[in-house]
Structure 1
Amino acid sequence: MEKNLLLVRHATAEDITNSAMVRDRDRELTSRGIMESARIGKYLKDNGLKIDAILCSPATRTHTTANLIAEQLKFDTDNVELADGLYGSGPRGYLALLNGLNESLETVIIVGHNPDITFFADYLSSQDCGGSMSKATVIHLKFDDLSWAEISQKSGSLVKRVDVKDLN
């Protein structure tokens, strides 16, 4: 059975470079990031994929990105799952999560962070994914005749890369 994975880098978040008051994990989306998330969600809705699960790191910016995408998709935001393995555990954390997914799921969105999400896309894809993912970028990978547990290095095909800045 075909599996579809949509890897999404979180949208634009506040810059805390000079702030000791906000932890990285607590960074909020900017107004621009809110709009980017909604545009990605609308794009995904307009392209007709039925989403079975949305998972994100517990960081505020990824959770908000995931919820805004879910709203556009009419996906119940209560069903957006927080996954600790998507924050700071590297591509191995992403792979462990993916390999543990329920086999009944066919199309899954994972919202995460750079550089891990870019490395993960490159690890899974048998084609070039186009370099570092900008904020609010989606990489759609397809896996033919594999279970989630069988997905590994270079086992996926790149369907499409969409940068939010290229959407009208």
Structure 2
Amino acid sequence: MKRYLYIVRHAKAEDSSSFFGDFDRELTSSGTIDAARMGKFLADKGLKPDLLVSSSAARAFQTARIMAEQLHYEYEAIKTTRDLYDNGPKAYLAAVNTAPEKCRHLMVFGHNPDITYFAEYLTNYDIGSMSKGSVVTVEFTNMDWEEISSRTGKFISYDSPKHLKQ
């Protein structure tokens, strides 16, 4: 049996200001459009996610909600955790390792540089730096979520809003 992990970097967010802390930064209008575009792109490819897990930081959760809408996933069912905010790639691994057994298509939303390191850790594929709003798709064959660790995934694709505009 195959399982698929979609690793999503939040879309473009407003710059830091003295009014809001980094955790509370929201998406810009172009970030909102890019998140919707990526969600539609994945929906058009036939993605029907079983579970969405997002950092509870505003920009990541907004990205997850917008993509959920495009994917016909109930946004109230999005699982949020502060652990995916600035806690390193191990936090992403913990989120994946604790996914329910019945889940076959898992999406995780987070932040750079941790999310890029996590994708490279799983696949041993040199991604560079995930751009805002981008998605890395990873395939796992004959593995439970709890067994996933370093180099156990197969890199399938890297898609970004910039690629969709071309």
Q: TM-score, normalised by structure 1?
A: 0.96
Ranges in structure 1 where 5+ consecutive residues have no aligned partner: none
- The Cα shift of 1:51 comes to 0.6
Q: How many residues align?
A: 165
C-alpha RMSD of matched pairs (Å): 0.9
C-alpha separation between the residues in 2 aligned to 1:108 and 1:88?
A: 21
Structure 2 residue corresponding to 1:97, chosen from 95, 98, 105? 95
- The Cα shift of 1:163 comes to 1.3
Aligned to 1:133: 130
Aligned to 1:44: 42
C-alpha separation between the residues in 2 aligned to 1:56 and 1:13?
A: 15
- The Cα shift of 1:127 comes to 3.0
- The Cα shift of 1:111 comes to 0.7
Aligned to 1:82: 80
In the TM superposition, what whole-angstrom CA distance separates every residue of 1:19-38 from its partner, at most 9, and x where no partner exists?
Answer: 22111010010000000000
Structure 2 residue corresponding to 1:159, chosen from 139, 143, 156? 156
C-alpha separation between the residues in 1 aligned to 2:12 and 2:24?
A: 13
In the TM superposition, what whole-angstrom CA distance separates every residue of 1:70-124 from its partner, at most 9, and x where no partner exists?
Answer: 0001111111110222111100111111111111000011010000000000000
Structure 1 residue corresponding to 2:111, chosen from 113, 122, 136? 113
Aligned to 1:71: 69
Structure 1 residue corresponding to 2:57, chosen from 53, 59, 63? 59
Aligned to 1:13: 13
In the TM superposition, what whole-angstrom CA distance separates every residue of 1:22-60 from its partner, at most 9, and x where no partner exists?
Answer: 110100100000000000100010000221011100100
Aligned to 2:146: 149
The one-letter amino acid paired with 2:138 is L
Identity of aligned residues (%): 44
Ranges in structure 2 where 5+ consecutive residues have no aligned partner: none
Moved over 6 A (4+): none
C-alpha separation between the residues in 2 aligned to 1:8 and 1:102?
A: 19
Q: TM-score, normalised by structure 2?
A: 0.97
- Partner SS, residue 137 of structure 2: strand
C-alpha separation between the residues in 2 aligned to 1:126 and 1:15?
A: 32
